[in-house]
Amino acid sequence: MHDAVEALLDEVGVETQPQPLFDSTRLRGQVALVTGGSSGIGRAVALELARCGVHIAFCFLDSGAQSRLDAQEVAQRLRAMEVRVFFRSCDVRDSREVRDFVREVQEELGGIQILVNNAGIGRDSALWRMEDHEWEGVVRTNLDGAFFFTRAVAPLMRAQEYGKIVNVTSVHGLRSEFGIANYSASKAGLIGLTRSAAVELGPRNVNVNAVAPGYIRTTRLTDGVPSEVLDRARERAVLGRLGDPQDVAGVVLFLCSEAARHITGVVIPVDGGYLL
């Protein structure tokens, strides 16, 4: 028995130089597709991946001149990091537009190894006052959009037997609050989609995970949420603060790295202890 153990140790060898668990340089040259990449969390994710040498494709919703300027500004910052960039507007609720966008990314950048489903909206209202378009718009953007993109990249990732998909859900997909039935339902559905996709794509070495941000300081949050709600969020979070987009981007980067190669189907709250 002793001889067998010694032989096994000799075969394994001794690691004389410890290897870093997290080596972001291994992502260099990969291609990431980030939905809703022109602002907020999506922008932070795109920039964080680009810092590691990842080529970036991102889409945005063309809602006017400012949205186009925001997208161009992000593209300029990405190109300054010497990565290739492809971007254009795309309505994630339209499955045909999604298929076309994914095909164009493959043609322009040569493939897709990473998908970050970040695009999302909110239309808050008490459920008994909620209009059909307020329900449908949120669910189709937050849930259908993620499904359309996941479905579109799945054949490619299965064929190459490699892929990382990260869905940006929310703490409100785990615990709801008043007036966000549409948002909570869409984000809870996204958690279910994450787990189902992990089961179906895992055998082909595709990791599918989700991050669940709490209250994150973005323009949409600070401009659209009453100050008293933000104050309550700070009080509830055990760290006593709101998060920043970079807090979420760092966790997304980890999930896209080989340090997370044995993690799939999980939801990681990035909420400062809001759910505790």
Is residue 239 assigned to a domain? no
Asked whether residue 19 is domain-assigned, the answer is no
Return d(Cα 164, Cα 211) in angstroms, integer: 13
User: How is residue 39 annotated by DSSP?
Assistant: S
CATH of the domain at 113: 3.40.50.720
Burial class (CB in 10 A: 0-12, 13-18, 19+), 35: buried
Question: What is the share, in percent, of the chain residues with pLDDT greater than 70?
Answer: 89
Q: What is the pTM of this model?
A: 0.91
Number of independent structural domains in the chain: 1
Q: How far apart are CA 211 and CA 166, in angstroms?
A: 7
Residue 223 falls within a domain, yes or no?
Answer: no
Q: Which of 162, 183, 215, 274 is an active site residue?
A: 183
CB-based burial label for 195 (10 Å; 0-12, 13-18, 19+): middle
* 57: in domain: yes
**Tokens 């161009």 found at:** 72
Is residue 271 situated within a structural domain? no
Query: Residue 11 — φ and ψ, nearest 5°?
Result: -70, -40
What's the order of all strands across the beta sheet hosting 85-89?
85-89, 55-60, 31-35, 114-117, 163-168, 206-213, 267-270
pLDDT tens-digit series, residues 166-181:
999 999 999 999 999 9
26/22 Cα distance (integer angstroms): 9
Angstrom distance (rounded) from CA 43 to CA 37: 5
Q: Which residues contact 119 (CB under 8 A, 6 or more apart)?
A: 35, 36, 42, 59, 61, 92, 141, 142, 145, 146
Please, which pLDDT band fits residue 9 given cuts at 50, 70 and 90?
very low
Cβ neighbors of 134 (< 8 A, separation 6 or more) are: 123, 125, 182
Inform me whether the pLDDT recorded for 11 exceeds 90: no
**What residue numbers bound the domain in which 257 lies?**
24-213+244-265
- 274: annotated active-site residue: no
| Residue 162 Cα distances to 32, 33, 111, 149, 202, angstroms | 13, 15, 11, 16, 9
pLDDT digits (tens, 9 = 90+) for 243-252: 999 999 999 9
> For residue 10, is it within any domain?
no
> CB count, 10 Å around CB of 18?
6
Residue 15 lies in a domain: no
pLDDT digits (tens, 9 = 90+) for 222-242: 666 788 888 999 999 999 999
What whole-number distance in Å separates Cα of residue 271 and Cα of residue 234? 10
Residue at 14 is within a domain: no
* Structure confidence at residue 114 as a pLDDT band (50, 70, 90): very high
Orientation of helix 95-109 relative to helix 145-160, angle to 10°: 40
Rg (CA), the chain: 20
